[in-house]
Chains A and B, each alone.
Chain A
Amino acid sequence: MLRLRNSRVQEKLIAWSGLVVLLIFVFFPSFYLFSFVIRLWPSVYIEVFAHPILGDVYWKEMLRYLSLSLRLSLVTVVIDLLLGVPLAYLLVKRRFEFEGFLEDLTMLPLVIPTSGFGFATMLAWTASYSLPTLFGIRIGLDTVVPVIKIPLLMLIVHVALTFPYVVKTVSGALRDLKASYEVISSSLGAHPLTTFRKVTLPLILPSMFSGAVLALARSLGETGATMIVAGVSTTAPIAIVRWEFENKVAPAAFLGALLVALSLIIIVPTEYLLTPGKKGRRLLPKGLEARLIRLERSTPRSFALLRDTASLAFLMVIVVLPMLMLIYNSALYWASDPYTGRREGSILYQLFGPPRYWDVIMRALTTSLITATLSTLLSVYISILALFLIMRYNIGRFIRVLLKIPLVIPTSALGLSMILLWGPKGLHILNPGLWLIVLTHVVFSVPVIVETSVASYMEANLPIYEDTARSLGATFYDVMETITLPMIKRGIVAGSLLAFTHSLGETGATFIVMGDHTTIAPLIVNMVESLAIPSAIFSSLILIVLSFIMLAIMRKIVG
């Protein structure tokens, strides 16, 4: 009896400490910008809307940046859907040899350091031996897509970095969907296209939607790669970084709060509204429906081949090509600048010659590895507490939804939030540097680990085992140690690896909070901006190789 009461107390204690830790390390930083803006509203108002000299210049600029960001993310999502859904179809429905490898390639942009990837993309599209030049087209940072007025490279980078969300959710839904529905539809005489439109599509719509929402939020906040290909254009996240460096805290904080609010408006309602299998109303008038069916029936069956080929080509151009260009260019720049022939423009010279970039890169890499390790470890502990809350208490569902938020907060807004909260301008507990980086990365690492583990917990049907063990007289710790942790270990390990890679490649927030402790991803941005291209090539290559290795390990462990 005493044992039992004891374990109840332990349980309560752990639950409460979990809640507190989550509040301090995850939720508070996520929402701090709001409280900052509200607290200092008078001065924010004057700076942004009624500056004595500038008037509402900041506000006007903000609207312009926000408008570009919104346009960019909307168009990105549309393209993601158009290209991602067929790709998911290919991954799920076709059986072929390199399936696993292809899936890895698709997921690569999720783990790849964004600045490195952005740089590789820039090389692939603008360098002298790039794909467009083969067709006699010249593309630069200043090339703008007409009508929607979005810089082309920015759009390409955003699509590359966000389409995996769509592929991931849609292929998950396709796997869950009973293939028999499609078989039945065929047996009733429907053309494969008709089956897709009338049966598959309505059933995977919720997943498509939630993938699209994630992609939208991610695109809205993308900083690292965007900075590299931005040229003269400015998106909202970039503006935040710039204003923070120019010490214009008020407009930066206000814009950050606006971005966070936008992400929230997008993600929270969809989390609650989306229940799969909503009944459909007739969407099309009868006449149009009949015409569509006739059109579908006249499509030759070889269209599937066309679709698959197009999907593969898309994947090659948008993900593989940049990697190849990176490797190709490192060879090109290895001993001398390929265009001028000058030795000073070579990778070897920049690394080991007077610029001594080798030391800089190694220092940044070390900082990156240390911060990634520390933040991942800390996040694992916090995540275990959070998991416990989610699994055993009713507020768990709410916490799980809330934990999606840090995932979609624009990273530069997060960085700003961290520095305003913990830094010299706020509580003054930490100066920019290693520890602030660690705490910043914890904010987005915890949700990643929790989400992966919750999935494996749900699959294993753990609560039943736990209660059984309890009824057999096991204490809370016994249960945690012998049942819960071992069973969700795989989820936690997979989540940690994901968080580690994320942390290694994070650019936007780190930029703001790193002080002198430069990590490798922001270093690449600096190198590009100071035109140390050979070093940028080399560093990007290192980062991408590292994330490939992580992905391989992940595959080994998760199976």
Chain B
Amino acid sequence: MMPNIKIIDVHKRFGDVVALNGVTLDVRDGEYVCIIGPSGSGKSTLLKIIAGILKPDKGEIYFDDSLVNDIPIDKRGIGLVMQDILLFPHLNVWENITYSPLVRGLSPLLVDELGNEVIGYLDLALDKRMYPDELSRGAQQKVAIARALTAGPKILLLDEPLGSLDAQTAKEFRYELRRLVKDLKLTAIHITHNQEEAMSIADKVVVLRKGRIEQVGTPLELYTSPKTPFVCRFIGGEANFFEGSIESREGLNAIIKLKGGTLLRTQTDIPSGARVVVALRPEDISLTRRNNASFPGFNSLEGIIEEVHFLGPYLRYVVDTEEGLVIVRAKRSARFMKGEEVTLSFNVFHIFPYPKEGLRKAIAYE
């Protein structure tokens, strides 16, 4: 299959602000790609450059192997959906939806046909004569998507399309959105800063940070093998970070000593003596009541429960240990009380060479 969208070494700055700093990305035909990243990381800028709203300072954009840098937005064959929804306030639902065929000069018959067809896809059960401000946010966004679809785009560009909907509506709508894109065989680029949203619907997730791509991969890849502490923290929710160093190693088998003295046994190719960062996800830790018979071994920590939070399907504990406070997420079946002594054990964790910028900066959401 040939790549549908190819972005090569794109740079963009606004005065002194570097919004994009060398972004290269392939999006395949029919793929649902989510771009995530903290606020100001350049997500919207990248989308605007793909759409043709902004011109890159440097770099090329190809659609189906033809350069589109100089093609104006109305000739790129894209559908654009924004967080602000931006339905034309002076036109009613039907006029909004049929705007594109009308202004492209299609015959009235075709205009009506396209409008009805798209309304069919989206099960829009509302009066077509209503005006945008009479609709709920969710319905407004559906109409906006319908409006983008009547333009017959091959590529759908969505900038935080669910960002202005309430959490529940957004959650339901995101699956509908993916289904629609797949049914119509479109290619979609969907921007969000909700990692859960990205994980649940994307074929491929792109993590953007400070105008650069930090990592690209399937949701599973990003979750199980994050390349940097930042990706580890950003994907999958909370994570515990520890500093330490490689104490000793034999072949790939290595022993890591954390700051507080805890020893971890693992496999890595980081050389002996090097400083490392260890990331431990709260859901990868199991809690047991401290047993006097047990002796401190590898890959475990002893601690005292500091706080307990009830979060519905699971419980969130904050545990005070030698390595500092550790967050643990556990099933409701075994409940621990504040002040109880526990043992934390784990086998899955992630090891990164110590970042040059320091741990704190490397995982900051800026």
Measuring CB to CB, which residues of chain A are less than 8 angstroms from any residue of chain B? 178, 180-181, 183-191, 194-195, 198-199, 202-203, 277-280, 286, 289-290, 293-294, 297
Contact = CB atoms under 8 A, between A and B. Distances in A.
Contacts of A194: 103
A450 B271 CA distance: 73
Contact of A187 (B74, B90, B105): B74
A537 to B, nearest CB: 46
Interface in B92-128: 92, 99-100, 102-105, 108
A187 B103 contact: no
A181 B88 contact: yes
Closest 5 A/B residue pairs (Cβ) = A188-B100, A190-B103, A187-B80, A280-B90, A189-B104
A276 to B, nearest CB: 9
Contacts, number: 78
A279 B130 CA distance: 11
A198 B78 contact: no
A286 B111 CA distance: 12
B74 A186 contact: yes
B301 interface: no
Given A185-B103, A286-B108, A202 B90 contact: yes
Interface in B38-79: 51, 53, 72-74, 76, 78-79
B90 A183 contact: no
A417 to B, nearest CB: 42
Nearest to A189: B104
A222 to B, nearest CB: 34
A203 B84 contact: no
Contacts of A190: 74, 99-100, 103-104
Interface of B: 51, 53, 72-74, 76, 78-80, 82, 84, 86, 88-92, 99-100, 102-105, 108, 131, 147-148, 150-151
Contacts of A184: 80, 82, 86, 88
A476 B88 CA distance: 45
Given A188-B148, A279-B131, A290 B108 contact: yes
* Contact residues of A: prevailing secondary structure: helix
Given A187-B79, A187-B151, A203 B90 contact: yes
Contacts of B53: 183
> Which residue among B82, B86, B90 has the maximum number of chain A CB atoms within 10 Å of its CB?
B90
Contacts of A191: 74, 103
Contacts of B102: 289, 293
A199 B51 contact: no
B270 to A, nearest CB: 48
Given A188-B148, A189-B100, A190-B103, A180 B86 contact: yes
A187 B89 contact: no
A278 B133 CA distance: 11
A259 B108 CA distance: 50
A297 B108 CA distance: 17
Given A189-B100, A189-B104, 16 more contacts: A178-B86, A180-B86, A184-B80, A184-B86, A188-B104, A189-B151, A190-B99, A191-B74, A191-B103, A195-B103, A199-B88, A277-B89, A279-B131, A280-B90, A293-B103, A293-B105
A156 B102 CA distance: 40
B73 A186 contact: yes
A290 B102 CA distance: 8
Contacts of B108: 286, 290
Nearest to A278: B90
Nearest to B91: A280
B167 to A, nearest CB: 24
A280 B91 CA distance: 7
Contact of B99 (A185, A278, A297): A185
Interface centre among A184, A191, A199 (most CB of B within 10 A): A184
B89 to A, nearest CB: 5
Contacts of A185: 88, 99, 103
A186 B102 CA distance: 13
Nearest to B99: A188
Given A187-B74, A188-B100, A180 B82 contact: yes
A346 B123 CA distance: 83
Contacts of B72: 186
